[in-house]
A and B are shown apart, each in its own frame.
Chain A
Amino acid sequence: MWRILTARIKQKYRTYNYPRQKPALPERFRGRPVIAAPSANDSGQIIQSCPTGALSAGNDRKLRLDMGLCIFCGQCEQACNGSGVKFSREHALATRQREDLVLTGQEQKLAEALDKKALQLFGHSLKLRQVSAGGCNACEADVNVLNTLVFDLGRFGIQFVASPRHADGLLITGPVTRNMALALQKTYTAVPKPKIVIAVGACAISGGIYAGHDETCNGAGSLLKADLFIPGCPPHPWTIMDGLLRLLGRI
């Protein structure tokens, strides 16, 4: 007993005062990409360098970066030495609409809160059922970590529950493999209405690196309509937390 108590003192209080305090992110962290106007020559090279086809040139020949496909590998930044795409250390990335994930410059339309009625229902207590549907377990790991005491997601009334019957919505990770499509559909059906769907990570949003494989369904969007998109590969836990809090109007 005494040992347990002294350990408690030595382990200290560790919960981070988020969102009031900005999270400390590593120096080399790749957050929101910032698009500049590269030369036409560079532009082609940048687009070529992307492993997931997240980069394209619009009709106006300006670069477009789809964060829903982006795996934040930084190949584009290396290819152009930062002249066309540069990764900032901004961690807030979540959007309510799929098209808002497409960046053409510095600005990004971040996620808005749910409507008033939904906020009345979920604003103070949001129970989520997590479904892992074919990813690499990194998104799952960084969702799971929100339950640890640094993040302490529970203090915002958000909790992961064991049964879809107890849930207000689904948080989906992975490209949704053919082998998980039915299980995902059934889990969704089991959640009582009204319900929300959150897609976390490039895979769940678009299929990510696995987009176009016969074995996957290119993300949750092919089966369900998502209410919140949190991009990344995997998204940093603070990015996920930021998205969830924005949805509830807490940021």
Chain B
Amino acid sequence: MNKNAFLPIIHGETVPRKNIPRLAMPDFRAAVIEAVRAGSRIVSLFGHPVGDSQIELMVVLADDARGALATAAAVVGENDGKYPALTPECPQAHWFEREIAEQWALTPAGHPWLKPIRFHAPYPAGRQTCFSSGGNPPGPGIADYFRVEGDEVHEVAVGPVHAGIIEPGHFRFQCHGENVFHLEIELGYQHRGIERQLWKGPDKKTIHYIETAAGDSTIAHTTAFCHNMETLGAARVNVRSEVLRGIALELERLANHTGDLGALAGDIGFLPTASYCGRIRGDWLNMTAVLCGNRFGRGLLCPGGTAYDLDATAVKELNTRLDAAERDTTNAVELLWQTGSVMARFEETGCLDAEAAGALGLVGPAARACGIPRDARQDFPSGIFQYSQIPVSTWQSGDVFARAFIRWLEIQRSIAFIREQLKMPAGGETQGKIGPLEPNAMTVALVEGWRGETCHVALTDSEGQFEHYKIVDPSFHNWFGLAMAMRGQQISDFPLCNKSFNLSYCGHDL
């Protein structure tokens, strides 16, 4: 990495915005590409307005092995908002640059597949994106799709309304008989304008937007938000609150991983595990409800700490429930690995190799299933994970089995973690004081949610309000991974592959 091009950020500390290097666009581009080549990856890449008509691009890079973060910026203003795209030489910039083009009406020239990702009007009023037709943004899903031509090639289009209780999205398959040449994923149907509402905040609505950025990852997103608030507000958070947050984060992982293993079993028609895990998922959610009254952890976290504590009775109840849920989960999940017909469907389906996963910048279980030991709890620990480490679970095969088995490994480790944390003595203040937010500062929070790295970047203005707040849900990195895993697969395996990633539509669309 070109050391002078980037400003290092210490996770959990602020940096003054004036110290962020502002590079010329060609230097910015070259520096990011070089850094990614040298082993860093893009955690976030976004635009935000400076002055009247200029947009500043900001990048946050992570070097997982060193646990180091770095940032730099470049202004795009001249040349009708055109700048040379990073994507041709840095595939993991692909989705970010499409987002930048759509939000800020910039044109990353030379981007190989420039399309909207959410189908909304650009943020600066009166501007037109390169996608606009007749002054209006295109309607949802209205765009050119990648097409394979040939006598026996056919196209299958699915969604936005799917055949189940699932969020909306549009999938286009280019098929040759049963085999999928290519899958293109078009989202944006869940776009409800969260990010824009966060600017000029925080206010009384902010935390509720964060809690609902992805409803099944409430704790992951809210933890990231709280960490940013606490960093900017120089708060000292009581360790008791961090313990409770850690327990809630792992319960969220347990509920979703268990549910996913059940759903994977359901997709191949293995009903015992499907029905048991569907129920046990509820047991984990109900444990979160013991913490705060809500199954998704709404209202548990607040900047400075947690809204609730656990007394001895509640700890005892959680321990009892933990033992029962562990027993039932183990019993239900081990059936999967012991059943030949299950393994035959899981193994060598939807393979992704470490090289592709690395190039695309995948995160979470999807990356770890390809042998990439990437886990923010280990690489960028915050909160209780600074003191209590959970070993990183990896597997090498990159197939549906690997993504399923990673979940099982993580379930066992999360249970052990919670059991350990419940031994921590109760008591102490759970709501720490938080000061006024530091003005003209930047901070980054990375939290390993059950889907993967949840990244929040806050930029404050001279008043200490959010000038910009950027959320990157793990799904934002990973949707393209699903498309790649489908190449050469049978279209009938799509539900199984899809479930093995189980990505968020609302977390992507925001």
Contact = CB atoms under 8 A, between A and B. Distances in A.
B215 A180 contact: no
Contact of B293 (A30, A139, A164): A30
Contacts of A193: none
Contacts of B204: 49-51, 75
Interface stretch (A36-44, A106-114, A126-134): A126-134
B421 interface: no
B212 A214 contact: no
Interface residues of A, number: 64
A149 B275 contact: yes
B164 interface: yes
A96 interface: no
Contact of B272 (A4, A140, A142, A160): A4
Interface in A1-53: 3-4, 7-8, 10-11, 14, 26-30, 49-52
A7 B276 contact: yes
Given A7-B276, A135-B506, A141-B215, A213 B192 contact: yes
A233 B211 CA distance: 11
Interface string B316-333: 000000000000100110
Given A11-B332, A73-B299, A145-B282, A179 B189 contact: yes
A177 B290 contact: no
B279 A8 contact: no
B205 to A, nearest CB: 5
Interface string B294-305: 111011000000
B205 A215 contact: no
Contact of A135 (B140, B208, B215): B215
A221 interface: no
A81 B282 CA distance: 31
A29 B294 CA distance: 6
> Which of A14, A137, A140, A145 has the most B CB atoms < 10 Å from its CB?
A137
B192 A216 contact: yes
B439 interface: no
Contacts of A164: 161
> Which of B194, B279, B308, B328 has the most A CB atoms < 10 Å from its CB?
B279
Given A8-B272, A135-B215, A183-B161, A27 B290 contact: yes
A11 B160 CA distance: 37
A121 interface: no
B188 to A, nearest CB: 6
A144 B274 CA distance: 13
A196 B494 CA distance: 32
Contacts of B168: 132-133, 180, 183
A86 interface: no
Nearest to B194: A210
Contacts of A142: 295
A136 B286 contact: no
A3 B166 CA distance: 32
B433 to A, nearest CB: 16
Interface residues of B, number: 60
Contacts of B291: 28
A143 interface: yes
A234 B293 contact: no
Given A134-B192, A163-B163, A7 B290 contact: no
Contacts of A141: 215-216, 296
B167 A145 contact: no
B279 A136 contact: no
B131 to A, nearest CB: 14
B191 interface: yes
A135 B332 CA distance: 31
Contacts of B275: 148-149
Nearest to B286: A26
A26 B290 contact: yes
B289 A26 contact: yes
Given A75-B204, A134-B190, A210-B192, A140 B293 contact: no
Contacts of B218: 138
B498 to A, nearest CB: 15
Contacts of B193: 210, 213-216
A183 B160 contact: yes
Given A73-B208, A183-B160, A215-B120, A150 B505 contact: no
Contact of B208 (A28, A180, A209, A215): A209
Interface in B184-242: 188-194, 197, 204-205, 208-209, 212-216, 218
A215 B272 contact: no
Interface in A149-182: 149-150, 160, 162-164, 174-175, 177-180, 182
A4 B336 CA distance: 10
A177 B293 contact: no
5 contacts: A11-B328, A29-B294, A131-B161, A137-B167, A180-B189
Interface of A: 3-4, 7-8, 10-11, 14, 26-30, 49-52, 71-75, 130-145, 147-150, 160, 162-164, 174-175, 177-180, 182-183, 187, 209-210, 213-216, 233-234, 236-237
Lowest 8 CB-CB distances: which A-B pairs, in order?
A138-B215, A28-B293, A136-B215, A162-B163, A215-B193, A136-B212, A179-B140, A148-B278
Interface of B: 118-120, 139-140, 160-161, 163-168, 188-194, 197, 204-205, 208-209, 212-216, 218, 272, 275-276, 278-279, 281-282, 286, 289-296, 298-299, 308, 314, 328, 331-332, 335, 338-339, 504-506
